[in-house]
Amino acid sequence: MAFYTWCLWILQGFWILQVLTTLSFSLSEPSVWAGALTDKSILIRLWDITEEVTLSVCDNAQSFLYRVDGGNTTRWDRSSHSPVLTPPSPRWWLLELSELPSGCSVELKGGVEASYHTLQSNSHSDEGPSTTKLAFGSCDRFDLGTSTLTVYKHIQEEGVDLMVHLGDLHYRDIEENRTEPFTQAFMEVLGNAKRQVLLKKVPMDYVWNDHDFGPNNADRNNPARLASRQAFSEFVPHYPMGDEFS
């Protein structure tokens, strides 16, 4: 009887741990992910934003273009007030900025607090050659502890201009050929508060490996490959690609 009771306690403990883990991921916090950075443009993915977002840019930007979630492109000029963006109805949406000056700061305030800058171009610098500081990483084993989250903080403190993530952003090993599990994984993993310390300051370019493309050792025979590629195309802030579904 004592052994049976002891087993029940263990099972209850595992159940409580699973519930707490699920709750920790389900908390909706304003989150951002910037990418596709150039010396003139940036894409910013936003999700779980419930309040208006005010957009401001560097003083030397006389005008620039912006577009929200694939809608109409708007040209802003210095004679106008800072754009105030109302989150559209979807849970996640995209902000596209282009025709910005080289090295221009971009700030989001209100519904989410984040700040970035476009890359510095040598052709626009009066101080000689410019430098770009990059950070590289892969294999985010968040399920094994907080070590990778600490790394994110250190990268942010190094003042890098761009992080390049080389895959295994998560280890969900998704086998379903549906986009929702992949999109949900992006939002849950990258919405973590400690990851957002970096992502609210540093753009991150990303390409999958195997565990975040499908199951372990996933290749072109991955049963979820079409959904994975579509989720990447729709959610990840990425540079222009050719035929994304060839």
Q: What is the mean pLDDT of the chain?
A: 86
Where does the pLDDT of residue 131 fall: very low under 50, low under 70, confident under 90, or very high at 90 and above?
confident
Please check the confidence at residue 221 and state whether its pLDDT lies above 70. yes
Looking at per-residue pLDDT, the higher value among 123 and 97 belongs to 97
Q: Return the percentage of the chain with pLDDT > 90, whole number.
A: 68
User: How does pLDDT run across 73-92, given as a tens digit for each residue?
Assistant: 999 999 999 999 999 988 89
- The 3-state secondary structure of 95-125, one letter per residue: EEEECCCCCCEEEEEECCCEEEECCCCHHHC
Q: Of 136, 148, 230, whose CA–CA distance to 189 is shortest?
A: 148
pTM, 2 dp: 0.84
pLDDT at 2 over 80: no
- Residues 6 or more apart whose CB falls under 8 angstroms from that of 196 comprise 29, 31, 32, 190
Distances (CA, A) of 182 to 32, 175, 224: 17, 10, 10
Q: How confident is the model at residue 121 (pLDDT cuts 50, 70, 90)?
A: confident
Spell out the residues 6+ positions from residue 188 whose beta carbon is closer than 8 angstroms to its own. 25
Banded model confidence at residue 119, pLDDT cuts 50, 70, 90: very high
pLDDT confidence of residue 58: 97
- Per residue in 155-196, pLDDT (tens digit) is 888 999 999 999 999 999 999 999 999 999 999 989 988 889
Chain CA centroid to CA 143, Å: 19
Residue with structure tokens 């000029």? 77
Angle at 227 between CA 224 and CA 228, to 5 degrees: 80
Q: Which two tokens stand for residue 185?
A: 């994984």
